[in-house]
Structure 1
Amino acid sequence: MAHRLREVGLDFIETAPVRLVFAQEMAASPEAVHRALAKDVPGWAQWFSAMTLARSTGDGSTREIRLMGGVRFQETILAVKESEVYAYRVDVANVPGARAIAEEWRLAPAGTGTGVRWTFAADGTAAFRLVAKLGHAGLGRAFRDAVRTLDRRLAAQGS
């Protein structure tokens, strides 16, 4: 059963009770990575293996996301800064115990490529927070796999 989560802003990404931060370097440029994150929303399902659907909704300031296992999110974009940041919050989710979720993808030049830092920030019931923290290794693996797959995809596109 989907339920509305608490509206949070960018400050939540730094203050959330659960903050999982992952980082990896890519060969692709910050501009190409940012374009894949912010402009090619349907493409997420091609490089983030847990995702089965990603689409912009409304005027492009919101997204619908579906993950394996039937997880569904409706999200609002919080920040888009060219070649630097892409952040969003989850407004509606069918995840039991979730009260607030926001994510930020921060990009920085790294040699000839890009340093990518993804922060998953969340709040919820005690059980939700525990499960989120226990999921750190799995989320880290999913992030690393997604970044490698996106890097290969961008290289194949000549980006």
Structure 2
Amino acid sequence: MTRRLRPSRPVDLDFLASAPLRLVFAADVAAPPDAVHAALAKDTEGWTSWFGAVTAAVPTGTGRAITLRGGVRFEETVLADEPPRRFAYRVDATNAPGLRALLEEWELSPTPAFGTRVRWTFAADGSSALRNVLLLARPGLGVSFRSALRALDRRLAA
């Protein structure tokens, strides 16, 4: 049975600093920042080919509709699209139990080797059970992030 989407608390970019839970991951890729930004912000449907957890990604008027493996769904609004250095969005509705607010930011900066340093911040508020699950899942989220960036780098090199 598919869970219905529930509205999330609307947050703005300040939530990145004030969220009760912040998970931050970083990794380098060989692709330049403009190519990475375009993949993140412009090629919504392409996420399914490089981010293994994403099974569907559809652009909407103000953001995206995302489905993850396991059936978790998000309706998102883009809050910052600043090529080639930043892409951020918040979740407006989800079927994830216990999630009250979620904002994700992808910061991009050039590396000395002409690649990109990608920093992903996952800022969330939810029930204490959800926060505990996310903390326990932190290593797995890090593996998923690094794996996705390797796949994205291969895709951008092709």
**TM-score bucket (shorter structure):** over 0.9
> What are the equivalent positions in structure 2 for 1:37-76 lying under 5 Å apart?
37-58=40-61, 61-76=62-77
**Which residue identity is paired with 1:98?**
L
Give the C-alpha shift of residue 141 in structure 1: 0.4
Secondary structure, in 3 states, of the residue corresponding to 1:95?
coil
CA distance in 2, matches of 1:55, 1:87: 16
**Structure 2: stretches of 5+ with no match in the other structure:** none
**Which residue identity is paired with 1:25?**
D
Q: Which of 8, 13, 23 is the aligned partner of 1:5?
A: 8
Secondary structure, in 3 states, of the residue corresponding to 1:104?
strand
Secondary structure, in 3 states, of the residue corresponding to 2:157?
helix
- Per the alignment, residue 35 of structure 1 pairs with 38
**Which residue identity is paired with 1:127?**
A
Give the C-alpha shift of residue 15 in structure 1: 1.4
Give the C-alpha shift of residue 4 in structure 1: 0.4
Give the C-alpha shift of residue 2 in structure 1: 1.7
**Which residue identity is paired with 1:135?**
A
- Per the alignment, residue 100 of structure 1 pairs with 101
The percentage of aligned residue pairs carrying the same residue is 57
CA distance in 2, matches of 1:147, 1:62: 21
**Structure 1: stretches of 5+ with no match in the other structure:** none
- TM-score normalised by L of structure 1: 0.95
- Per the alignment, residue 79 of structure 1 pairs with 80
Secondary structure, in 3 states, of the residue corresponding to 1:135?
helix
Give the C-alpha shift of residue 11 in structure 1: 0.8
Q: Stretches of 4+ moved more than 4 A in 1?
A: none
Residue deviations 1:18-72, cap 9 Å, x none? Answer: 10000000000000000000110100010000100011112xx210000000110
Task: Provide the alpha-carbon RMSD of the alignment.
Answer: 0.6
CA distance in 1, matches of 2:96, 2:130: 9
